[in-house]
Each structure stands twice: as structure tokens, then as C-alpha cells.
Structure 1
Amino acid sequence: MPVSSSLAIAPPVDGRQSDTALAVARGTRRLLTSLGFASVTELPLASGRRADIVALGPDGAVWIVEIKSSVEDFRADRKWPDYRAHCDRLYFAIPDHVPAEIMPPDAGLILADAYGAAVLRDPAEHRLAGAARKALLIRFAQATACRLHALFDPEAGSGFL
């Protein structure tokens, strides 16, 4: 049976993120798309951590973007250094009310709202080893394929991630 072309596809809301974090994610993902990156949110990593946004560039570059929606959010979270082991570049994305100067100077910085974003600072690149890159790319592909499948067949189960 063919799927109607008017079928609206929207991912389920998982309730973990604040409205501000969702807006920053939306604008950041728009920026990433304009730069040629495909991205997925809330990707579980091999370390057991969950990255806010993982982006895959046209050249295979892997960026992780950690969203901080408030000063308190940043101060309470000390797990972000672990993300460096899973990407070529690590960025923070913040809304305009979070002071940029509190963000780690060695990480990239993105200013975002619900409609778009701008890179304020690029971080140094630290290329993933080949085996780590392959494992992350497989995880990225499986997660996105399972999420797309779940949109069309919600009773199929969550699949891989």
C-alpha cells in the first residue's frame, strides 16, 4: 500500500529538553544543514553518554554540539569533556542570554535561536582514529534509520536506538 505524500512526519517529543534547548537545537541544525552536514539529536555514544547533536559532514567530519540553555545548565554539567573522544570537533550551542565568556575557550561556540545560528568560534580539530570513526558512523546510520522506520511504523519498536 503506497504511503500518502501528504503524510506529515514529525518525531516524537521525548520531554528531556526545555523549550529553550529545543529552539537552540532547531536553529543549530538549520546552520549545520546549510554547511552540508546531516545531524541527529540525542545520539547515545559508545561511552554511554548521550550527545545533544551529532553532525556528519560531506567529507566524513564528525562534530558534536552540546546545547547549554542556561548558566545553570552549563554549571551542572561536567560530562561534556567526554564527548571529545567521539568527534573531530566539539562545539557548544547557546541562546543569546547565556554569556559566551563562560564557555570553554578550546571548544567551538555557536549562537542560536529557533530560526538559525551562527558560528562564533571554531575549535581546533582533533581527528578521530579510524576504528572510532567507523563505530560512530555505524551508530549514526543505525540510529537514523531506526528513527525513520519508527515514524512510518510506530508499532515496530524502537530498534537500535
Structure 2
Amino acid sequence: MPADLIRPERTRLIRLGAGKLLYAMGFACLEEVTLANGRRADVMGIDSKGALAIVEIKSCLEDFAVDAKWQDYMPFCDQFYFAVDPDFPQEIIPEDVGLLIADGYGGAVLRAAPANPLAPARRKALTLHFARLAAFRLHGARNGVAAEAEIMFAG
């Protein structure tokens, strides 16, 4: 990516590419999913077998260096990935998580995320949470009340 991109634009492009990649891998995705611990996953996807993946977007080295919360996402997914742009120093990403490289056009899996199967009760709760959030967002978007729908969703 061009070095002169401001951080929000770089983040947007990585998120776009990561979403395209997850979609190509068979995941239905939502962005900005609030979890039971109060953390907000950048991208969360569910596949046809019910496996849940969370992708944490990192737009620059500073973004990664100040992030002490990423391990808080792991109890809420079967697979955890970092998504970075092609210029990111990939060697600093921990080996025990997945790694995606992404830009505005798409992405690639550089390292598959290790399987970390969720307990059945947590999977059921997260699947219901994901479905309700998607339905609230769709209803809100179709009826011009997206902001209100997001506020109404209590998880």
C-alpha cells in the first residue's frame, strides 16, 4: 500500500480485503462485533459448519505495539487471525495465531489459524448473537434506523 495513506484509510483497505478473503473462504462476515467481555472484534465470520473466526486488523507497527487486548478475543472464536497490509513486518506477529495479508483488492492466508474449538454452549450463544446482530443491522439499514437498531441490540 502507498506509504502516504493515512491510518484510517489503510485500516479500511485491510478490512475490505480481509472481508473479501473470508467471504471467498466461505465465511459470512460482520464488522465491529461486540463480545460478551466488552471487546469489539474488527471482523467476525461464521462458516457453513458454524466455525467462528475473528480477524483483528493492524494498520501499522504502532497499532500492533500498543494492542494489549488481542488475546481477549481468543475465547470467542475457533480461529483467530491478524490481518495486515503487505508492508507490515510480519515476523512480529505471534506464531500461535493466523496471519492474513490484505489490501483493498483482496487477501491471502499467510499462516492458517490453529484450531481452538469453542465449547458447545459458547458456540450456541455466539451463533445466536451473530445472527441477531446481522438481522438487527439489516432491518435497520432497510428501514432507515441503522443507528437505533445498533443501540437496541443488547447482545
5+ residue gaps, structure 2:
1-6
Q: Show the counterpart of 1:106.
A: 96
Taking only aligned residues, the RMSD between alpha carbons, in angstroms, comes to 1.3
Higher helix share: 2
Inter-partner Cα distance in structure 2 for 1:57 and 1:65 = 14
Inter-partner Cα distance in structure 1 for 2:132 and 2:8 = 26
Inter-partner Cα distance in structure 1 for 2:13 and 2:138 = 22
Inter-partner Cα distance in structure 2 for 1:64 and 1:105 = 16
Inter-partner Cα distance in structure 2 for 1:155 and 1:82 = 31
- Identity fraction in percent: 45
Q: Deviations over 1:30-57 (max 9, x none)?
A: 1111111100000000111000011101
Inter-partner Cα distance in structure 2 for 1:123 and 1:26 = 19
Q: Normalised by the size of structure 1, how large is the TM-score?
A: 0.86
Q: Show the counterpart of 1:119.
A: 109
Aligned residues: 145
Q: How far did 1:104 drift?
A: 1.0
Inter-partner Cα distance in structure 2 for 1:76 and 1:146 = 32
Q: How far did 1:18 drift?
A: 1.0
Alignment of 1:66-85 (within 5 A): 66-85=56-75
Q: How far did 1:103 drift?
A: 0.7
Q: How far did 1:68 drift?
A: 0.3
Inter-partner Cα distance in structure 2 for 1:70 and 1:155 = 34
* Moved beyond 6 Å, runs of 4+: none
Q: How far did 1:154 drift?
A: 2.2
Alignment of 1:6-155 (within 5 A): 18-155=8-145
Q: How far did 1:122 drift?
A: 0.8
